[in-house]
């Protein structure tokens, strides 16, 4: 059974940093592209960042230069480093598995999300 478990969310002040993790199991993590999607309170889904199985990275303009996606295939874990956080980064952050090794594929499994709140 595919499982994705996000962690690392919490309350952080504007300008602060946070690292999100996503522990994966039930599939060959190293062969799958992975993606972060966020959802602000009472809003829709926003694609944030993705990483291919080979390690190529992609970002939304809204987070480019502030967020960094990475993966550790030895630990079956996906990460998202969030720096220079702003109030409009407040959201539930979901990790999701791609249907293959490239980032531009549908997302066939999602985690339950972790809440990031940016507030003073």
Partner 1 sequence: DIQMTQSPSSLSAFVGDRVTITCRASQGISNYLAWYQQKPGKGPKLLIYAASTLQSGVPSRFSGSASGTDFTLTISSLQPEDVATYYCQKYNSAPPLTFGGGTKVEIK
Among 61, 65, 74, 120, binds partner 1 (CB under 8 A): 61
Interacting residues with partner 1 between 93 and 112 (CB under 8 A): 94, 96, 99, 103-112
Distance CA 113, CA 11 (A): 15
For the chain, the residue count is: 120
Give me the least distance between CB of 120 and partner 1, in Å please: 27
User: Does 50 sit near partner 1 (CB under 8 A)?
Assistant: yes
Q: Which of 110, 93, 116 is nearest to 34 (CA)?
A: 110
CA 63 vs CA 5, 30, 38, 69, 105: distances in Å: 22, 25, 11, 11, 21
Decide if residue 35 touches partner 1 (CB under 8 A).
yes
Least distance (Å) between residue 111 CB and partner 1: 6
- Per rule CB under 8 A, count of chain residues that contact partner 1: 26
Using the rule CB under 8 A, which residue among 8, 21, 30, 59 binds partner 1? Answer: 59
27 contributes a contact to partner 1 by CB under 8 A: no
Q: Please answer whether residues 81 and 70 qualify as being in contact, where contact means their C-beta atoms are separated by less than 8 angstroms.
A: yes
Between CA 92 and CA 104 the distance in angstroms is 22
Residues forming contacts to partner 1 in the complex (CB under 8 A) are 4, 35, 37, 44-47, 50, 58-61, 94, 96, 99, 103-113
């Amino acid at each position: 059974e595919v499982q994705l478990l996000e962690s690392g969310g919490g309350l952080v002040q504007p300008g602060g940093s946070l690292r999100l993790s996503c522990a994966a199991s039930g599939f060959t993590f190293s062969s799958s592209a992975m993606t972060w999607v966020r959802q602000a309170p009472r809003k829709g889904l926003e694609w944030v960042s993705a990483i291919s199985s080979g390690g190529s990275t992609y970002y939304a303009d809204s987070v480019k230069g502030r967020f960094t996606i990475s993966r550790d295939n030895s630990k079956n874990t996906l990460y998202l480093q969030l720096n220079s956080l702003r109030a409009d980064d407040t959201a539930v952050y979901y990790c999701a598995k791609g249907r293959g090794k490239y980032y531009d594929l549908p997302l066939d499994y999602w985690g339950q999300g972790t809440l990031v709140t940016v507030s003073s």
